[in-house]
Amino acid sequence: MATCFWLRSSGPRRLAWTFPGCRLRPHAGGPVAAWGPAPGPAPLRGYAGGLASLSAALLRTDSFVGGRWLPAAATFPVQDPASGAALGMVADCGVPEARAAVRAAYEAFCSWRGVSAKERSSLLRKWYDLMIKNKDDLARIITAESGKPLKEAQGEILYSALFLEWFSEEARRVYGDIIYTSARDKRALVLKQPVGVAAVITPWNFPSAMITRKVGAALAAGCTVVVKPAEDTPFSALALAELASQAGIPPGVYNVIPCSRKNAAEVGEVICTDPLVSKISFTGSTTTGKVLLRHAANSVKRVSMELGGLAPFIVFDSANVDQAVAGAMASKFRNAGQTCVCSNRFLVQRGIHDAFVKAFAEAIKKNLRVGNGFEEGTTQGPLINEKAVEKVEKQVNDAVCKGATVVTGGKRHQLGKNFFEPTLLSNVTQDMLCSHEETFGPLAPVIKFDTEEEAIAIANAADVGLAGYFYSQDPAQIWRVAEQLEVGMVGVNEGLISSVECPFGGVKQSGLGREGSKYGIDEYLELKYVCYGGL
């Protein structure tokens, strides 16, 4: 558990930060102690059409540390994945800025941990209210920087805001215990206390919701945070910082340090190894998660991680074909297949296989429209970058070379280099890349199976286990399969499973811990046992 004694004994509390190329105007009590409103926005740096008409207050380009907007010595470009146009230049934070952010968060923690649960709850609720008030602008920021269709972006903002609402309520439900021991003159108490500063590293595919799901829980528990957003989508994190400031979240409680891909590794290492950081929360690839775990090991930090998936989607002979196709469409093609819980492998029983593939292909052709996320009617936006397109293309080519059949799609879309056609493959086998490598794109490979046991074996033949889905009308089979799937979340006759009220997380190499739900706040709390004797 973090303690404030270390910092107090190591030097004065008043901090004077000097970032390269930047001079600060001092506040009374130093930057961290200043609880007043943040200064006005810096001039915008040439935003593309999707952002041009938005409120200037939400379009931030500097880091947000200790309640202040601070530039860095360098900047990096953020691009619209649909057009390739530059959206703006954002502060490229490095090691000095990262260390300053951690120190600001630690300073703030010394006060924030003592703020009443009711007050923390009220501030989180104000933050939620401001998100709802600004939901349209926030959604447009998501679409501009991630390419996500505007309707989906609007849905993400509501989902994101609900985490702040949920944890504003959970803040007042952090209960302890009283234990009666075998000794008559003793009582045992169990207290729950905040762990300290949390380093929060988030992905680009849900640039708002992945922040509030972590930060909402952290702040409700009494922790402070340093957020490192994905380099592709920093504007959402910075807009949330502006709204946090407007809501009255004290300086240093919520800090954002954007950085380029070039600086990402060293910034991540700094915030994960700093002795003032007590907790790491990360959503991203399993490979990166393992690197961060090694960083955390030296100082034995608390860690929660939501990592890669390879979700099976099983359709048994008893399934309702129309329901299964609707679930497959929702699970596979949301955000163009760029979600950690999207179905990666479709396992379809022989008796229903042909009917399902036919109906699935028809639904893809009828209901999916590829286009710019701002265009009316678009359901499939671009992939985040050309590297993501190359991965899908590689998997399709590999499958076809090994005998798979392209039912629909199968190639890059004519709209541009970051677009790929929604693709359905049949005659897929387990030796193909798409069967054992996470795609993160609009590719649906179908594997035919004969028995329930075979389907379970194929589904569980992975070293990850985040989500799994299956369709069946057999009650006994539903219980068997739900219990045997080696995943952290199961959708039974349902393709969309995420909800703020329910625990999100995986098993195997898909991560550690759970987010959301009543369990999510526990990731930011320590248990302390107090023995009260002499009674």
pLDDT of residue 51 exceeding 80, the answer is no
Q: How far is CA 478 from CA 324, 482, 483, 492, in A?
A: 14, 6, 9, 7
Closest CA to 204 of 232, 227, 236, 241: 232
* 192, burial (CB in 10 Å: exposed 0-12, middle 13-18, buried 19+): middle
Q: Which alpha helices (H) appear in 113-260, and where do they start and end?
A: 117-133, 135-146, 150-170, 209-221, 234-247
Q: How far is CA 445 from CA 353, 401, 486, in A?
A: 12, 14, 20
User: What is the mean pLDDT of the segment spanning 398-417?
Assistant: 97
- Ranges of each domain in the chain: 63-307, 311-498
pLDDT of residue 36 exceeding 70, the answer is no
Output the CA torsion sign for 431, 435, 440, 444.
positive
Q: What is the pLDDT of residues 168-178, one digit of tens each?
A: 999 999 999 99
pLDDT at 24 (0 to 100) = 31
Averaged pLDDT of the chain: 91
Output the CA torsion sign for 12, 4, 123, 98.
positive
Amino acid, single-letter form, for residue 96: P
User: What is the mean pLDDT of the segment spanning 14-30?
Assistant: 32
Categorize the per-residue pLDDT at 341 as very low, low, confident or very high, splitting at 50, 70 and 90.
very high
Catalytic hit among 306, 486, 515, 523: 306
Instruction: Return the SS3 of 100.
Output: helix
Categorize the per-residue pLDDT at 200 as very low, low, confident or very high, splitting at 50, 70 and 90.
very high
Q: For residues 534 and 223, what is the distance between their CA atoms, to the nearest angstrom?
A: 34
**Degrees to nearest 5, angle at CA 54 with 166 and 82:** 90
Q: Which CATH class is domain 311-498?
A: alpha beta
Categorize the per-residue pLDDT at 16 as very low, low, confident or very high, splitting at 50, 70 and 90.
very low
Categorize the per-residue pLDDT at 57 as very low, low, confident or very high, splitting at 50, 70 and 90.
confident
Q: For residues 503 and 523, what is the distance between their CA atoms, to the nearest angstrom?
A: 12
Tell me the two tokens of residue 484: 């045997």
Q: What is the pLDDT of residues 98-138, one digit of tens each?
A: 999 999 999 999 999 999 999 999 999 999 999 999 999 99
Q: What is the pLDDT of residues 447-461, one digit of tens each?
A: 999 999 999 999 999
The model's pTM:
0.90
Closest CA to 260 of 70, 534, 74, 108: 74
Architecture of domain 63-307: 3-Layer(aba) Sandwich (3.40)
pLDDT at 379 (0 to 100) = 97
For 407, phi then psi, to 5°, come to -80, -40
* Largest Cα–Cα separation, the chain: 79
Q: Is 152 a catalytic residue?
A: no
pLDDT of residue 61 exceeding 80, the answer is yes
